[in-house]
Amino acid sequence: LKEHLGNGLSFPNARRLAISSLLNYDAEQMRYSNDILGIEYVAELKRLRSKIEAHTIKRIGASYNEEELLEIPSATSLRKAISEKRKLEGIPYFTEQILEEEFKNGRGPVFLNSFYDLMRSKIILLGRERLEQLYGFNEGISQRFLMNSCASQNIEEFLNKTKTKRFTFTRIKRRLFYTIFEIDKTFVLESNEFGPQYLRLLGFTERGKSLLRHISDRSSLPLISNLSDFKNSIQSREINVDLARMQIALDIKASDIYAMNFKSSSERLCKRDFRKPIIHEQ
């Protein structure tokens, strides 16, 4: 594994080749996103000594990165169809209705390229020294970000210029958002060590309503249903309160930054998480 990483390969590819060599096994299947994620699930179950048994289910329909709308479409093909304003095929009728309603009211669609000007601005404003204090900015990637942000007209051009064997499109995209929110190493290390410090309730059905009090009473983490009351909620549990505040603040900022790309000016107002009611299905 270290040898392949030393040759500049990304971690998933280095691990795939290491397993192929070690077990004399064709690990070609391990190049796909869902399989990589599945391996991480199994590894975590073993680490926790969990009683949960993992089972594989063969994916049907379109592959993860398939861009054509098939009978069972991929998320990639649906995003592409939305961006090209084509009719969506292969999704439930109610899903299509919800999307149409949201777009009609100016709440989207929002794409990665929608954030590019903000990302470029942050990269330039932060500069190399500050970028290298952020999580994941090592091995010269900060210099590539600075150079290519000034020389790329859109996100696709930036990604293609910045990509290397080690830095895949996915890793670069994550780091672009780290720049927006200035995610530093200390915050990530603490979050990895202590985990999430709260549970956020977004919606429930009538059936699920009966479980909420049970969850709230038994959970070691505070269940936040009203963000305006989060200060009292996080004081009621034995958690890392400072980390909880930072995580909640990031949660709120992420919603605000996303909403700033809505077409409707009234929907772009900040603190929308404090105004938006919880979804309750009868």
Please give the chain's pLDDT, 282 residues, in tens: 888 888 877 777 888 888 888 877 777 767 777 888 888 899 999 999 999 999 988 888 877 778 888 888 888 899 999 999 998 888 999 999 999 999 999 999 999 999 999 999 999 999 999 999 999 998 789 999 999 999 999 999 999 999 988 888 989 999 999 999 999 999 999 999 999 999 999 999 988 888 888 888 888 999 998 898 888 888 878 899 999 999 999 999 999 999 999 999 999 999 999 988 898 887
* pTM reported for the whole predicted model: 0.84
Quickly count: other Cβ atoms within 10 Å of residue 197's Cβ.
21
DSSP 266: G
Length of the chain: 282
Residue entry with tokens 């979050």: 191
b/e code 172-196 from CB counts within 10 Å (16+ = b):
beebbebbbeebeeebeebbeeeee
Query: Which tokens sit at 7?
Result: 């040759």
Q: Which helix (H) or strand (E) holds 280?
A: strand 279-281
Q: Where are the domains of the chain?
A: 2-48, 62-104, 113-183, 190-281
